[in-house]
Amino acid sequence: SEDFKCLSCDKANYKLIEKAKNEKIETVWDRAEAMQPQCGFGEMGLCCTNCSMGPCRIVKVSEDGPKKGICGADEDTIAARNLARSIAAGSSAHSDHGRDIAHALYNAAKNPESGYKVKNPEKLISLAKEWGISTENLDIKDIAAKVAETALQEFGKPFGHLRFVDRAPEDRIDIWKKMNVVPRAIDRDIVEVLHSTHIGCDADYRNIMVAATRAALSDGWGGSMIGTELSDILFGVPEPHEIEANLGVFKEDEVNLVIHGHEPTLSEAILVAVNDPELVELAKKQGAEGINLVGMCCTGNEIAMRHGIPMAGNFFQQELAIITGAVDAMVVDVQCIMPALSQVAKCYHTKLITTSPKAKIPGAIHMQFNEEEAIESAKKIVREAVSNFKNRRGNILIPQEKSKGFVGYSNEAIINALDGVANSVAHPMGTVKPLADAIKSGVLRGAAAIVGCNNHKVLHDKGHEELAKELIKNDVLVVTTGCGAYACIKEGLMSKEATKFCGKGLATVCELVKIPPVLHMGSCVDISRILLLLSELAKFMNVDIKDLPAAGAAPEWMSEKALSIGTYVVASGVYTMLGVAPQVTGSENLTRFLTDDIKDIYGGCFDIEANPQKAAEKIIDHIEKKRKSLNI
Ligand code: NFS
């Protein structure tokens, strides 16, 4: 298994990569190898396919060759347009997810057949109040309908700006106003990027980035935040749970159902269905002991956070999950689902079931998930999974590796945990005061978020883990979401014992407050939680987000969503470290803009460092500088 250490640093994966080799099954690592060398024009952002006079590409490596596209677009225009379009696509993915949650909330109010119910009426009422919706004489369902409709209006309202923008610190909103990037309506801001990057429209890279930044902010402070807030209302606010993680969570004697993708509207309904006595009975009739539901990628984060469902694996483990031979069905909805899965599934008995009209995969079984009768349609899907148990072929290998950790740190849960200890020291309950105090006193040097995907350009999971370890060793509290959260829990960084990796200050805080040093805050849309935590902290300390000793990092990012996230996080004032360079380096101007000039505008900027040790040093350096300017 020695050879596989250069592909992943997760031991559970070695045996399965070896199994894949023996069984002649191609994985993401094989395809990445076959792709070498990767296209230099694309890598630098210098290939333009925006019109059919092209494709055009700018030659940088020599004096010869075109320096302009056929329409005259130069490297700055081309690289910025490509980046902006990716940001718009990322923002649209998160926001469309948010829209689906809003529809589900509407269904919960209006359509009893849907099976959705409001689980947290307090959060619903508080959001209604925030949005100026009168709750007088209305029952929960009526309020839910109004809140859902108001949320849906955020996508296409003709005037004004997004409601959640007002949650940001005042200084931040002023910067956005000055830069003309206050998001107005989510669909509009995304459409505007597509329009302005059309052939013959915006050619000014800085102005292209204005539209792109606005579209990104409409994700973080719009679509994603709607997704998170309304999911909490519908499915409950996450609370700490101890759970198991890694491919060792599969059970030989139970039906293994993997739910993979993103939207809790599906995973929550599947969770109800797997507990249906009739389906459990059916599983037993097939010879199984029960139904083992496990999560993968961000929808796995969502149900782990709310229900303690095991986290099977992250983006780079999706094929390996099937290669165990123990997966009876993998049920997917949207985003981060490799089309390769259908080929892998064919080599086993596994049923790959697509459920969204937005994401069908040739070779998969399509069973449309109907949110108007969510539970019924989830039951049909689960029945399909259960009836496949008997078709197992015997070539099963479930790795031993799994680890335990605590997940479920919503802002509410973090504040609760802090309240628990600090209430001896008279302070207003339910505020970020204890967190601010810990930072001010220097016990905690600051906080960093480690988020995002897996990417073959980085040793799988190593970028996340090493960075996290280095930061907590230096008393920086780490919060994490997405595939980064999987890497951290698998490495034991969310367990009680994780304090052994911490510096003295952070270890003391963790023991006192009974939290792990790496806090699992959810899926990628839940990065909106991190924005809110930073906002609350900034407001409490009477500063702007950019002044906080805080940073962001996406060591293994790959998706367009990650580009949208990075952009809204930077525009919210956060220094953000990328482990993989974005495809912009062919434009020195744009690269300098993103890594430097932008600092003077928003206070945050991108930095690029592949080595986790060096990335940690830079983050710590940034944090210490911010402490100095705050005089703490
Ligand atoms: Ni987010 Fe990356 Fe996907 Fe989640 Fe994982 S790949 S941008 S982390 S599952 S969305």
445 in Cβ contact with 549 (< 8 Å): yes
**Residue to substitute in 224, 297, 314 for testing ligand 1 pocket (most ligand atoms within 8 angstroms of CB):** 297
**pLDDT tens, position by position, 356-394:** 999 999 999 999 999 999 999 999 999 999 999 999 988
Q: Residue 576 — φ and ψ, nearest 5°? A: -130, 120
**pLDDT tens, position by position, 53-66:** 999 999 998 999 99
Q: Whose CA is nearest to atom 6 of ligand 1?
A: 453
Model pLDDT, residue 431: 86
According to DSSP, the residues that pair with 238 across neighbouring strands are: none
C-alpha 352 to ligand 1 mean position (Å): 19
Name residues contacting ligand 1 (CB within 6 A).
297-298, 314-315, 335-336, 452-453, 482-483, 524, 559, 561-562
Ligand 1 atom closest to Cα of residue 297: 9
Q: Whose CA is nearest to atom 8 of ligand 1?
A: 482
Model pLDDT, residue 362: 98
Ligand 1 atom closest to Cα of residue 451: 8
**pLDDT tens, position by position, 95-154:** 999 999 999 999 999 999 999 999 999 999 999 999 999 999 999 999 999 999 999 999
**Residue to substitute in 87, 315, 557 for testing ligand 1 pocket (most ligand atoms within 8 angstroms of CB):** 315
Please, what are the averages of pLDDT over each run of 10 residues along the chain (632 residues)? 71 93 96 97 98 97 95 98 98 98 97 95 97 96 98 98 98 98 98 98 98 98 98 98 98 98 98 98 97 98 98 98 98 98 97 98 97 96 98 94 97 90 61 92 96 97 97 98 98 96 96 96 98 97 98 98 98 98 98 98 98 98 98 95
**Residue to substitute in 228, 314, 460 for testing ligand 1 pocket (most ligand atoms within 8 angstroms of CB):** 314
Model pLDDT, residue 11: 86
C-alpha 310 to ligand 1 mean position (Å): 17
C-alpha 234 to ligand 1 mean position (Å): 22
Q: Where are the beta strands (DSSP E) in 11-93?
A: 47-48, 56-57
Ligand 1 atom closest to Cα of residue 335: 3
**Rounded CA separation 412/291 (Å):** 31
**Rounded CA separation 222/234 (Å):** 18
C-alpha 359 to ligand 1 mean position (Å): 16
The whole-angstrom distance between residue 91's C-alpha and the CA centroid of its chain comes to: 12
Output the pTM of the full model. 0.97
Model pLDDT, residue 71: 98
C-alpha 556 to ligand 1 mean position (Å): 10
Model pLDDT, residue 8: 81
Model pLDDT, residue 1: 47
421 in Cβ contact with 433 (< 8 Å): no
**Rounded CA separation 149/196 (Å):** 29
H helix and E strand count, the chain: 26, 16
Model pLDDT, residue 424: 52
**pLDDT tens, position by position, 461-477:** 999 999 999 999 999 99
379 in Cβ contact with 319 (< 8 Å): no
Strand (E) or helix (H) holding 343: helix 341-346
**Rounded CA separation 412/229 (Å):** 12
Model pLDDT, residue 9: 78
Q: Whose CA is nearest to atom 3 of ligand 1?
A: 336
